[in-house]
Chain A
Amino acid sequence: MATVSDPAASDVTAHAPAATPQTGNGESVDFRVFRGTPDAPEGDKAYQVPMVPGMVVLDAMHYIQKHVDTDLAVRWNCKAAKCGSCSAEVNGRPVLLCKTRVDELPDGPITVRPMKTFPLIKDLVTDVSGNFAVNRKITPFTPTDADAASTEPWRIKEPDIERLYEFRKCIECFLCQDVCHVLRTHDLHERFYGPRFFVRVAGLEMHPKDAADRRDLVREDGGLGYCNITKCCTEVCPEHIHITDNAIIPMKERVVDRHWDPIAWVGRIFRR
């Protein structure tokens, strides 16, 4: 170890430096937060929260928990837009609460409601477990026999995986599932995997070392055809994944190639 010069040691105290977070100038912000359970919905409840510079909506929910209603239910983890836990709808728009700055919202009361597409548990928390069930249906990563048997480290060229990085950025916030009208309006949860899982499938299908074929799965079980590429999912993605252009449309093309290419179709008849 290099030794460290310690010029200031004798002057320091065991206290953290005097960086008191600057608070606001006495302004407060009006919130309308949905409260209640499916059996006992209470509707939107009004709260006033003191404004702090740079405040995000999740900060305001924590203020309410600490000072007003300790039982306000809100999911969160990293508070840095990396885990995708705090999804909800602010002024009707699906967002991450930890990334939504209060000073960027229009004046007037801010409404905060749970994601509409999933069953309500309480307040801002919904039951998103169905999404995890979908993931279990998707054929996992499957290398070729040769690759699996090889004892040498794999060689993979960067250009062959570059397009996958985007898909792997997904933090599973499920905002894309929330906004998708096939799930939100038509409630086709049993017949449609949803944008998050088309991204998942695309990431597997385009992996240069993957040998499985998920085209039938995604067409039949996954209901890929229900998507009519309105791109709402892409618009709400906090990771800016081009869900429609880079995942869904290429998957649709692959499915079309397999099922509706006339030469391949004739070929399949003869193989039977």
Chain B
Amino acid sequence: MAESYISHDCDVLVVGAGGAGLRAAIAAAEAGCSTHVVTKSLLGKAHTVMAEGGIAAGLGNVDEKDGWQVHFADTMRGGQMINNWRMVEIYAHEVIDRVFELERWGGLFDRTPDGRIMQRAFGAHTWRRLCHVGDRTGLELIRTCQDRAVHTPGVEVHMEYTLTRLLKDGDRVSGAMGYRRSDGKFVVFRAKAVVMASGGWGRMYKHTSNSWEGTGDGAAMAYDAGAELLDMEFVQFHPTGMIWPPGARGILVTEAVRGEGGLLFNSEGKRFMLEYDPKKKELSSRDVVARSIYKEVQAGRGSTHHGAYLDIRHRGADYIKKKLPSMYEQFHALASVDITKEPMEVYPTIHYTMGGIRVEPETAATTVPGLYAAGESAGGLHGANRLGGNSLGDILVFGRRAGEAAAEYAKVRGTAPELRDAEIEAEQAALLKPLDSTDGVKGENPYLIHEALQDAMQDDAGIARTEESLTRSLNAIGELKERAKNLKVGGTRTYNPGWHTCRDDVFMLTVSEAIVRSALERKESRGSQWRLDFLEKDPEQGRVNYVNYRADDGSMRVKPIPVEPLPVELSKYLEDS
């Protein structure tokens, strides 16, 4: 018999309360569904708050020539043409409405002199396109959606709950289970449909801008439930993370610094982006800028702490404080650097994961009936490399679509699915094992397993990869999976981060394996995937996406699926611009 648990019934369960989750919840509740939102953290703390630059939308407020067509073309090019074109088309169209919607929900944006929404330049966007409010656009977005959601009838939010397993009724998803972090009590949500909006995964890397939450729970849970993962090899290094002091290493330095005119220099005072991309310079796509900094450091031209110098001083103190207030504050507080007087030191940091759960473009439906996915946990929109400003738009556009489609599914399905006690009991036993001190096993420290995984991924499956390094990483993951069977922690079930980390480790190992297996298959360099043993793009590989799936024997497999050819009416936009 399963231990007793807290039980909730709803039409739609939304996993995650960042921008995608909140937008999905609003859509599902507005469609008349009882909607429960679960977050591992407190409301409003999700990774969305870290998005600083803005929302890319072809409003053409500043550059009149802009429109959804150019935005479409830029996004496809940035993704190296292996994006799902239909997702990009929907996105470029609808993000415009989502920006106006946010404003009508009370969200603020910087304005043009004639009172329209201001737009700024950003890497690899042809026109000035990012709707923004200073350098805290993500905070504005999440606060606006948060206030809208808690005032939408039918939305119920559960803070600090961790979900660990999707439940199934036959082929169909029937809900999810996990525990309440505050007291470790088990919880089961029975739901007619589930929206996975759980964000990305960067924590398996040592230098990352991700918070503790970025452990890939959603992708791993969906994979465990039979969903497919797409484009997992593509992990974005944001070119500019902090590098000093050690504790601040990896913290994001917004691309808006370069959007507002920031320049990159090496230790010889040379503006090296003029050489690597003479046309777009500092505002080249993120993969190009990240690799350029990496190469400068490798060649011995790094800054004091082995990074590059990012200099915005020439814009003047008043402008910097107005347009980049949180960067000014961040460097002042954490690094004792006044960015109006000194350059910043930066180095690439793991920031975003382009890959994710494979979804239908129109509905965000996964390959598991009743399961939907949106935002960073889903794959397909960004292809091999995401452009800055396209994630805040992504979460609004596809969060809404996922919420609406899940609501529709819940209504059509009508009856609530069945729960299976055996499934719940087995997961409870697995969760409790690390706390069991009676089995005489010495046990592994979950934090040290995490650290070993970070070493294996950072060095061997990071910015530069080879067959040899990836194989080494895969072997390390295999060994760590074995060691993770013996995780042990002290303490009780009351707010016990060590215990929580045990499950995070398992999720991260699953997702890491997917990254490495796909990276091994893709024997070319494309977007964020930089293979030193295959430096060129391979046109053949440009026609496929790699998909991870669980074989009948439980092992992870990779298969290529063809990239949908671009229809003629859309391909002309790529030629035009």
Contacts and interface: CB of A to CB of B under 8 A. Distances in A.
A57 B247 CA distance: 10
Given A140-B147, A148-B104, A169-B136, A74 B497 contact: yes
Given A17-B297, A70-B497, A81 B330 contact: yes
Nearest to B277: A2
B458 A16 contact: yes
- Give the interface centre of B251, B294, B497 by most chain A CB atoms within 10 Å: B497
B91 interface: no
A171 B49 contact: yes
A21 to B, nearest CB: 4
A93 to B, nearest CB: 15
Contact of A16 (B103, B463, B490): B463
A162 to B, nearest CB: 9
Contact of B494 (A37, A169, A170, A172): A37
Given A2-B280, A73-B497, A55 B245 contact: yes
B447 interface: yes
Contacts of A230: none
A66 B306 contact: no
Contacts of A23: 246
Given A53-B246, A161-B108, A11 B298 contact: yes
A130 to B, nearest CB: 12
Contacts, number: 247
A204 B106 CA distance: 8
A120 B377 CA distance: 33
Contact of B151 (A58, A77, A121, A140): A140
Interface stretch (B111-119, B189-197, B215-223, B413-421): B111-119
A89 interface: no
Interface stretch (B163-171, B224-232, B284-292, B553-561): B284-292
A127 B491 contact: no
Interface string B422-440: 0000000000000000000
A70 B459 contact: no
Nearest to A150: B104
A82 interface: yes
Interface stretch (B36-44, B388-396, B507-515, B565-573): B36-44
A4 B276 contact: yes
B103 A154 contact: yes
Nearest to A167: B108
B333 A81 contact: yes
B108 A76 contact: no
A122 B459 contact: no
A272 to B, nearest CB: 31
Interface in B486-511: 489-492, 494-499, 501
Contacts of A135: 147, 150
Given A6-B535, A71-B489, A76-B211, A82 B246 contact: no
- Give the interface centre of A19, A140, A157 by most chain B CB atoms within 10 Å: A19
A265 interface: no
B539 interface: no
B116 A155 contact: yes
Contacts of A81: 329-330, 333-334
A22 interface: yes
Given A9-B535, A71-B496, A54 B100 contact: no
Nearest to B465: A14
Interface size class of B (residues with CB under 8 A): 35 or more
B258 interface: no
B275 interface: yes
Interface string A25-46: 0000000000001000000000
B278 A168 contact: no
B491 A143 contact: no
Given A19-B243, A82-B49, A71 B150 contact: no
A17 B212 contact: no
A11 B297 CA distance: 12
A146 interface: no
A227 interface: no
B466 A54 contact: no
B252 interface: yes
Nearest to A157: B115
B133 interface: yes
A158 B143 CA distance: 20
Nearest to B279: A2
B343 interface: no
Interface in B63-93: 77, 80
Nearest to A210: B106
A116 B105 CA distance: 35
Interface string B507-548: 000000000000000000000000010010000000000000
Contacts of A168: 108, 133, 136, 139-140, 143
B448 A66 contact: yes
Interface in B223-280: 243-249, 251-252, 275-280
A175 to B, nearest CB: 14
B446 interface: yes
Interface string A144-170: 000110000111111001001100111
Given A12-B464, A16-B458, A52 B284 contact: no
A146 to B, nearest CB: 13
A2 B284 contact: yes
A123 interface: yes
Given A77-B212, A82-B50, A172-B44, A54 B247 contact: yes
Nearest to B284: A2
A14 B291 CA distance: 12
Contacts of B448: 66
A4 B43 contact: no
Contacts of A155: 114-116
B159 A129 contact: yes
B305 interface: yes
Interface in B435-482: 445-448, 451, 458-460, 462-466, 468-469
B49 A156 contact: no
B106 A73 contact: no
A60 B334 CA distance: 15
Given A158-B110, A158-B111, A169-B136, A70 B491 contact: yes
A84 B106 CA distance: 22
B563 interface: no
A4 B291 contact: yes
19 contacts: A9-B535, A11-B298, A15-B460, A15-B464, A52-B247, A53-B246, A66-B448, A70-B446, A70-B489, A70-B496, A73-B496, A74-B497, A77-B41, A80-B50, A83-B211, A85-B41, A85-B42, A127-B182, A209-B106
Interface of A: 1-2, 4-9, 11-19, 21-23, 37, 52-56, 58-59, 65-66, 69-85, 99, 101, 121-123, 125, 127-129, 132, 135-136, 140-141, 143, 147-148, 153-158, 161, 164-165, 168-172, 204, 207, 209-210
Interface of B: 41-45, 47, 49-50, 59, 77, 80, 100, 103-106, 108, 110-111, 113-117, 133-134, 136, 139-140, 143, 147-148, 150-151, 157, 159, 182, 206-207, 211-213, 243-249, 251-252, 275-280, 284-285, 288, 291-292, 294-299, 302, 305-307, 325-326, 329-330, 333-336, 347, 445-448, 451, 458-460, 462-466, 468-469, 489-492, 494-499, 501, 532, 535
Given A66-B448, A73-B495, 8 more contacts: A4-B277, A12-B464, A14-B460, A21-B246, A78-B49, A80-B50, A84-B45, A99-B333
